[in-house]
Amino acid sequence: MSHSESPKASDQAVPAPLIAKWNLSTGEDTVAAHPFACSLDLPRLNTIFANFQQALGVTIALIDLQGKVLASSEWQHACLNFHRQQPGTLHNCLQSDTVLANQLLQQQQQAVYRCHNGLTDCAAPIRINGRHLANVFIGQFFQEPPDLAYFRQQAAENDFDQADYLDAIARIPIIPAQKVKPMLDLISTMAEQIAELSYNHSQSQQLLERVEQEVKRRTLELQMQNQILSLISQSAPLPYILEQLVLQIEQQYPGLICSVLLLDEKTGRLQHGAAPSLPEAYNRAVDGLKLGPMAGSCGAAAHSGEILIAEDLYTHPNWQAYRELVDLASIRSCWSIPIKDAGQRVLGTFGIYQRQPAKPDQTFTEKMQVFSNLAELAISRFNSAEKIRHMAFYDELTGLANRRLLDERLQQALASSRRSNRFGALLFLDLDNFKPVNDVYGHKTGDALLTAFASRLQQLVRQTDTVARLGGDEFIMLLVDLEPDATMARQQVELLLEKIRRALAQPFMLETPEQPVFNCHCSIGLSLYHGATDTADELLKRADQAMYQAKQLAGTQVCWSDAINLPDSALATTPFTP
């Protein structure tokens, strides 16, 4: 048997040279390495081989298919310190190694070879679960008593110390030819069984570790999902839910950078949802991203409704227009999956970035769908809650505040008036002659007129003011934070009335099949209020009474009702003609 590094005489005390290399062939390796060696109980094999050597005198080694000695007994003194120290005899050793190795590769069965140095070597394949993974070598023995004259001549030819060499030859065991095969069968079978047991045990341990890791990872995923579902059920703010989802995924998968973009139905663009680990400048740059087949990963995924994998952002065509952003965020890959509701309507995108080129395997692609589903639950729940809230507080036809929201805004306005000592005003508006519109043109045209009228009113007030529809053709305009002086507050309202006059002076051209044109008139009842003296019910009652007073007059009229301590506390009627 051979070694790639020949030991010197001073190394004789070193047992079992396990790092030695078996010269598998004279050329390149022909069989791929197998990592099974890492799973073997090598100390146990070393001990067993050493015990066999003590019993039989033969050298035993387990060698992998790349020629590395995995376990062995000690080498014979004659081979280690004589044959492998001189070029001629070393050549004979290497030739024996090569012949045996090639026979095992070609025939996959036991092989016996008599070395030109006079010793016999044999080998047998080791199969683990049916796969040829290693070889057991038994050698450096005689099959018959040695011819001492031959070995004296060999000592002379190679300048060996004859006495020491012949003493080493005398220590080499003699194994009769008929016993070689049974010995080889016994040792190879035992080595194969021990190796297989060790290998299977190691594979079981590795499988168990993988299962434990998978269970731990899956447990963390379920905990994350439960926490997100809990936040959703508690109606936590959507930005907070999405941020927690992103952060927990990043914690479970270090190296990932996640983001959620939300699709704005009004603009058709993607808006920032959550991306706590991306630079703020990057988030600002992608906020408002247009959809399109070449709009990066997220814009393209939202456009197509399909997952988009950009393995390398430097080379992917979708990212050539965004190279500055790639360098800004130090990212090199981006995988984006659209977030869809049950009706397959795109709600946004879930993006995953990495700082090196990469693409997901099938398992992680399925996990991306799970992440997307969690985000969809949060977004859909939020949208549903917003829809329910809108239905509860806003008029379905016009989109204005309804009576319930008006009541809340009235209470807030009165409280604010008490704190600030400022006046406010409430305008009660009623469209004149609206019923004939429904009768002549139908309710669809009537609804269109109400919607157009509401839109004009909404454009006349500040964001802090409220325009509400009480029902039918009755509307309320609630003005807040007017001047502390009643006269000046009334003047402010008069300015609004002028705006209303100009707005109503423009005819309403409705986009209906008949395309009718209407010139509208309305009756308006007004009342100033102050939180220190008024209540919501009293305020609405006063404005309502003033509106009915105005309705008694022809054309569009405005009536003031001032029940608080104002210069004109009685009901006053002021003609108002648009």
Query: Structure tokens of 35?
Result: 């990592």
If one compares 352 and 25, the residue with the highest pLDDT of the two is 352
Q: Which of 105-119, 276-290, 302-316, 322-336 has the lowest mean pLDDT?
A: 105-119
Q: What is the mean pLDDT of residues 549-554?
A: 80
- Under the banding of pLDDT at 50, 70 and 90, the label for residue 512 is low
| Strand ranges inside 253-298, DSSP E | 257-264, 269-274, 289-290
Listing DSSP states for 161-217 in one string gives -HHHHHHHHHTS-B--HHHHHHHHHHHHHHHHHHHHHHHHHHHHHHHHHHHHHHHHH
141: phi then psi, degrees, rounded to nearest 5: -135, 165
- Give yes or no for residue 566 having a pLDDT over 70: no
Query: Structure tokens of 306?
Result: 């399909």
- Under the banding of pLDDT at 50, 70 and 90, the label for residue 262 is very high
What was the pLDDT predicted at 27?
A: 35
∠ Cα 291 296 302 (to 5°)? 40
173 near 34, Cβ under 8 Å?
no
What was the pLDDT predicted at 400?
A: 93
- Under the banding of pLDDT at 50, 70 and 90, the label for residue 478 is very high
If one compares 558 and 411, the residue with the highest pLDDT of the two is 411
Question: 3-state DSSP call for residue 566?
Answer: coil
Q: Is 107 exposed, middle or buried (0-12, 13-18, 19+ CB in 10 A)?
A: exposed
- Give yes or no for residue 576 having a pLDDT over 50: no
> How far, in Å, CA of 383 to CA of 385, rounded?
5
What was the pLDDT predicted at 36?
A: 62
CA dihedral 566, 568, 571, 576 (to 10 degrees): -110
What was the pLDDT predicted at 280?
A: 95
What was the pLDDT predicted at 94?
A: 83
- Give yes or no for residue 567 having a pLDDT over 60: no
Q: Half-sphere exposure of 93 toward its Cβ, with a 13 Å CA cutoff?
A: 24
What was the pLDDT predicted at 384?
A: 82
DSSP class of residue 463? T
Among 109, 121, 49, 44, CA closest to 79: 121
Q: What is the mean pLDDT of residues 511-526?
A: 79
Among 263, 327, 339, CA closest to 352: 339
What was the pLDDT predicted at 23?
A: 34
What was the pLDDT predicted at 79?
A: 87
Q: What is the mean pLDDT of residues 237-259?
A: 93
DSSP class of residue 142? B
497 near 574, Cβ under 8 Å?
no
Quickly count: other Cβ atoms within 10 Å of residue 282's Cβ.
Answer: 20
423 near 483, Cβ under 8 Å?
yes
Q: What is the mean pLDDT of residues 483-495?
A: 92
Query: Structure tokens of 300?
Result: 């393209």
262 near 350, Cβ under 8 Å?
no
Q: What is the mean pLDDT of residues 35-54?
A: 80
Domains of the chain: 9-202 (3.30.450.30), 238-390 (3.30.450.40), 403-575 (3.30.70.270)
CA dihedral 126, 129, 130, 132 (to 10 degrees): -40
Q: What is the mean pLDDT of residues 139-159?
A: 91
Sheet (strand 572-575) strand order: 466-471, 474-479, 424-431, 522-529, 557-560, 572-575
Segment of 130-134, 224-228, 539-543 carrying the highest mean pLDDT: 539-543
363 near 396, Cβ under 8 Å?
no
- Give yes or no for residue 41 having a pLDDT over 90: no
556 near 521, Cβ under 8 Å?
yes
> How far, in Å, CA of 497 to CA of 201, rounded?
90
What was the pLDDT predicted at 570?
A: 33
What was the pLDDT predicted at 5?
A: 35
- pLDDT tens for 357-406 read 999 988 888 888 989 999 999 998 888 877 777 788 889 899 999 999 99
Q: Half-sphere exposure of 265 toward its Cβ, with a 13 Å CA cutoff?
A: 4
- Give yes or no for residue 577 having a pLDDT over 60: no
Question: 3-state DSSP call for residue 30?
Answer: coil
> How far, in Å, CA of 268 to CA of 290, rounded?
7
Q: What is the mean pLDDT of residues 305-325?
A: 95
- Give yes or no for residue 297 having a pLDDT over 90: yes
270 near 289, Cβ under 8 Å?
yes
What was the pLDDT predicted at 575?
A: 39
> How far, in Å, CA of 3 to CA of 124, rounded?
19
What was the pLDDT predicted at 562?
A: 58
Among 184, 148, 152, 195, CA closest to 56: 184
Q: What is the mean pLDDT of residues 323-336?
A: 95
> How far, in Å, CA of 462 to CA of 142, rounded?
110
3-class secondary structure per residue, 367-436:
HHHHHHHHHHHHHHHHHHHHHHHHHHHECCCCCCECHHHHHHHHHHHHHHHHHHCCCEEEEEEEECCCHH
> How far, in Å, CA of 482 to CA of 492, rounded?
7
- Give yes or no for residue 146 having a pLDDT over 60: yes
Longest dimension (CA), the chain: 147
Among 77, 366, 71, CA closest to 218: 366
- Under the banding of pLDDT at 50, 70 and 90, the label for residue 555 is low
- Give yes or no for residue 504 having a pLDDT over 70: yes
What was the pLDDT predicted at 573?
A: 39
Segment of 50-59, 85-94, 407-416 carrying the highest mean pLDDT: 407-416
Q: Average pLDDT over the chain, rounded to whole?
A: 84
- Give yes or no for residue 568 having a pLDDT over 90: no
- Give yes or no for residue 38 having a pLDDT over 80: no
- Give yes or no for residue 196 having a pLDDT over 50: yes
Helices (H) and strands (E) in the chain — how many of each? 16, 19
- pTM exceeds cut of 0.85: no
Segment of 16-25, 328-337, 509-518 carrying the highest mean pLDDT: 328-337
Q: Which of 129-133, 234-238, 387-391, 574-578 has the lowest mean pLDDT?
A: 574-578
What was the pLDDT predicted at 1?
A: 38
What was the pLDDT predicted at 515?
A: 66
> How far, in Å, CA of 246 to CA of 257, rounded?
8
